[in-house]
Structure 1
């Protein structure tokens, strides 16, 4: 997501890699939106497999930031071009903070991908010409340290950008200095090694001729703009669809029936009888408008009476003896 220097040939392979990364980011955010609006059951923000996917995409972006910094400024920092790009990234970061604060005030993005890129781009500049052992040493320390040290102090938003938290504060996107600045340095190291080897000429000679590589390279050259625009465009499609289709209703019904069926069968009741029982319970919840009580766990005395009555009625369907005269 950084520009390359005009003093070097443009590496199309880097643009293609950026294009692939931005497509992966868009796809991930689409899944996040679908999860948030309950079109899909996966918890994209917290399920372990989705966390691995998100971190892999983030790592690719930050690695490419290091690549771009070396390609653009490895022979000498072009300050005018650097600050022009940097201001654009920072403006995008602030716009994302404002937009997410208005939409999600309790979990707005106060230090996300663009905030990190703005800071890391400045921090990485001294390492573009330093002896290679120095960025290598710093990268190892920055990446390893969060796995060795943590403190509750860094759970607070003010200090969380450093990265040594025990429990991260709520945020829809948080990219702390430790360990992620180390990934940028890995990009710096790898690119400097490549440029000093015969592999550099071979990579520079790659010229995408087919349509797909050309499209990916084009997207890579405009990856920052795509990053800024893709989420508003996605939300502009998903939000109205959610308002019309109300997927949360179908999702909560499915989740209730699944949990009820599992719990019922764990108690030794047959699957057929549990289906009857759970369907009855669902009807009772809907008729008495008890969804909020069921999901929140905050049940008033009156709601408890309704739940108990519904449970007794549904139990009588599968255990007829409960209807027998006492």
Structure 2
């Protein structure tokens, strides 16, 4: 879910804190749990509706927040002796390239809900936006973090509802995407990590946390994953999905799981926007009924729609959002 170690690893081994790698590894482990549960739910292999379940949604948000907090912590660690500009730019290019790869892959794999601004996009942009804050007093950075968290509740304008500006985080319109981590309020987590690091680092010097190194095999595996989080992020979902698809080939899911998969995907995409779980469920039921009436249901499930068909699906979903559609 994050490229923290790739983007903001310390420029020299002596600046690296094993406890940060371990924390990042634990966050990766939590990410595995969520994504595997999400995939099981998507394929109809478990009864729990993971995308719309409040507990699972808060779990996912806590994972994203922990990774972005670690971005801020790692950025402070990496610049204690000054910014290594060539190394930073190289790592930034790697994360930005990985983000572009995710966008392209999801556009072809699931064009209705492709990822246009997910966690990797935020890690890349947030790391650049955070650079000026390295020179500011801690109080100013903390104030900026609080402001970032508050802005989505304070700022609203029809212009900000335009799809091209959705990545900023102010849009009140439904946003259909599999992963959405806009600039606000999530940049507040990056700034919060910077505050935490700047307050804690002077107290860590010479402490047990500063000198901790993974000794047991599980701890070494966690730390290794934390040091290579970009690679782990890019590989884990294809592995999970491939394993589940192979399992379904050996033991096919019932036909009803196709409709369930559509509903789960629809509700997950809807949940990334401002609508609540109940409104999203009504919206997706309305959209599915409309697709069946229009004869687009089978083509939608098989993802065989052309551009005109996708536009019609979007129009039907928008109609369900209006009062007459009763989403």
Tell me the TM-score normalised to structure 2 length.
Answer: 0.74
Match among 95, 114, 121 for residue 115 of structure 1? 121
- The correspondence of residues 65-76 of structure 1 with structure 2, limited to 5 A, is 65-76=71-82
- Comparing 116-125 with 24-33, greater Cα deviation is found at 24-33
- Comparing 163-172 with 82-91, greater Cα deviation is found at 163-172
The number of aligned residues is 260
Determine the structure 2 residue equivalent to 1:45. 51
Q: The residue matched to 1:171 in structure 2 has which SS? A: coil
Q: Does 1:201 align with 2:206?
A: yes
Q: The residue matched to 2:113 in structure 1 has which SS? A: coil
Deviations 1:260-300, CA, capped at 9 Å, x for gaps: xxxxxxxxxxxxxxxxxxxxxxxxxxxxxxxxxxx737469
| Structure 1 residues 251 and 109: alpha-carbon distance in aligned structure 2, compared to 1, 3 A threshold | closer
- The correspondence of residues 127-166 of structure 1 with structure 2, limited to 5 A, is 127-166=133-172
Match among 4, 7, 15 for residue 10 of structure 2? 4
Determine the structure 2 residue equivalent to 1:296. 289
Q: What is the CA–CA distance in structure 2 between the aligned matches of 1:239 and 1:26, rounded to whole Å?
A: 17
Say if 1:155 and 1:169, in contact at 8 Å, map to a contact too: no
Say if 2:148 and 2:184, in contact at 8 Å, map to a contact too: yes
Extract unaligned runs of 5+ from structure 1: 255-294, 301-326
Q: CA deviation at 1:67?
A: 0.8
Q: Does 1:63 align with 2:69?
A: yes
Determine the structure 2 residue equivalent to 1:84. 90
Q: What is the CA–CA distance in structure 1 between the aligned matches of 2:201 and 2:165, rounded to whole Å?
A: 37
Say if 2:118 and 2:181, in contact at 8 Å, map to a contact too: yes
Deviations 1:125-172, CA, capped at 9 Å, x for gaps: 111232112211111100112133344544443111111122441000
Q: What is the CA–CA distance in structure 2 between the aligned matches of 1:72 and 1:5, rounded to whole Å?
A: 6
Q: What is the CA–CA distance in structure 2 between the aligned matches of 1:178 and 1:25, rounded to whole Å?
A: 21
Match among 32, 36, 45 for residue 30 of structure 1? 36
- The correspondence of residues 150-299 of structure 1 with structure 2, limited to 5 A, is 150-197=156-203, 199-202=204-207, 203-249=209-255, 296=289, 298=292
Deviations 1:78-112, CA, capped at 9 Å, x for gaps: 00110111111011101100110001101100111
Choose 1 or 2 for highest CA Rg. Answer: 1
Query: Relative contact order (C-alpha < 8 Å, sep 6+): which is higher?
Result: 2
CA RMSD between the two structures: 2.3
Say if 1:18 and 1:61, in contact at 8 Å, map to a contact too: yes
Q: What is the CA–CA distance in structure 1 between the aligned matches of 2:97 and 2:181, rounded to whole Å?
A: 17
Q: The residue matched to 1:175 in structure 2 has which SS? A: coil
Q: Does 1:17 align with 2:23?
A: yes
Q: The residue matched to 1:106 in structure 2 has which SS? A: helix
Q: CA deviation at 1:192?
A: 1.0
Q: What is the CA–CA distance in structure 2 between the aligned matches of 1:246 and 1:131, rounded to whole Å?
A: 58
Say if 1:160 and 1:168, in contact at 8 Å, map to a contact too: no
